[in-house]
């Protein structure tokens, strides 16, 4: 009976912590950060979600950046000229590489992600075109804002001694258009893949949440 009471007390604490986290996440994600008052609409970017994870989508080639020059994993069977956009997402390396589906999620992978013990990766996917929908929103920004967004993304990639991004050698891929790269930072319940996307929007002077762990907070602003 003594051990049962202790177990119930631990369970109650755990449930209480989870509920408190969800409440804080809900409140802070509903507090908006306004976009900069910028009239120029020089570059079209997108936010894209699969229902859980948010990607920042950028044009592959502009005067400011040719992403093919650094993030160059596209299968050679494709004609690069066909592709116009690159979707970029940051997240837990264990989830990206070891969890193809939620059914294959291991407790050890989840625990490492929650407490920030796992490494991180950038997931990059090339697209021929983007279609606006409930899960894909276009945002028009200035060249100056895009320059700051580029800088934020660049800092999220881990570089080798020569300054090049580091492609992860793995067979895990959703298609022939995507690849994984070593990333900087630590994933945790306080800084998730959606927190990264939210910070990217802030870096580019766009509408965002005060803080969010989930994609809903971001897309409510758009």
Question: Which of 68-77, 100-109, 152-161, 184-193 is least confident?
Answer: 100-109
pLDDT of 109 above 60: no
Contact, 205 vs 136, CB < 8 A?
Answer: no
Mention every residue, 6+ apart, whose C-beta is less than 8 A from residue 123.
55, 88, 89, 90, 91, 96, 178, 179, 180
pLDDT at residue 94 in the model = 86
pLDDT band at 175 (very low <50, low <70, confident <90, very high): confident
Averaged confidence pLDDT in the chain = 90
pLDDT band at 38 (very low <50, low <70, confident <90, very high): confident
Contact, 48 vs 136, CB < 8 A?
Answer: yes
Residue 212 per-residue DSSP state: -
pLDDT band at 75 (very low <50, low <70, confident <90, very high): confident
**Which pTM does this prediction carry?**
0.91
The residue-averaged pLDDT of 168-177 equals 82
Dist CA 180 CA 100 (whole Å): 13
The residue-averaged pLDDT of 146-173 equals 94
DSSP string computed for 34-65: PPP------EEEEEEESSS-EEEEEESB-SS-
Question: Which of 27-31, 169-173, 198-202, 207-211 is least confident?
Answer: 169-173
pLDDT band at 95 (very low <50, low <70, confident <90, very high): confident
Whether the CA torsion 191, 188, 190, 100 is positive or negative: it is positive
Count other C-beta atoms under 10 Å from residue 86's C-beta: 23
Dist CA 88 CA 124 (whole Å): 5
Dist CA 27 CA 46 (whole Å): 25
Dist CA 215 CA 160 (whole Å): 31
pLDDT of 114 above 70: no
pLDDT of 2 above 80: no
pLDDT of 97 above 90: no
pLDDT at residue 12 in the model = 87
Q: For a pLDDT cut of 70, what percent of the chain falls above it?
A: 90
């Amino acid at each position: 009976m003594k051990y049962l009471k202790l177990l119930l007390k631990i369970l109650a604490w755990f449930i209480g912590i989870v509920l408190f986290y969800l409440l804080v996440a809900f409140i802070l994600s509903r507090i908006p950060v306004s976009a900069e008052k910028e009239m120029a609409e020089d570059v079209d970017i997108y936010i894209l979600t699969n229902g859980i994870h948010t990607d920042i989508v950028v044009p592959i080639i502009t005067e400011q950046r040719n992403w093919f020059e650094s993030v160059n994993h596209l299968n050679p069977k494709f004609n690069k000229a066909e592709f116009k956009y690159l979707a970029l997402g940051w997240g837990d390396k264990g989830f990206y590489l070891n969890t193809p589906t939620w059914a294959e999620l291991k407790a050890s992978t989840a625990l490492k992600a929650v407490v920030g013990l796992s490494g991180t990766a950038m997931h990059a996917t090339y697209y021929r075109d983007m279609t606006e929908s409930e899960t894909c929103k276009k945002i028009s920004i200035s060249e100056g804002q895009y320059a700051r967004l580029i800088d934020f993304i660049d800092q999220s990639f881990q570089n080798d001694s020569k300054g090049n991004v580091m492609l992860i050698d793995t067979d895990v891929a959703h298609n022939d258009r995507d690849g994984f790269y070593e990333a900087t930072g630590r994933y945790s319940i306080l800084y998730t893949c959606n927190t990264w996307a939210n910070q990217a929007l802030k870096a580019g002077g766009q509408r965002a949440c005060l803080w969010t762990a989930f994609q809903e907070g971001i897309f409510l602003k758009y």
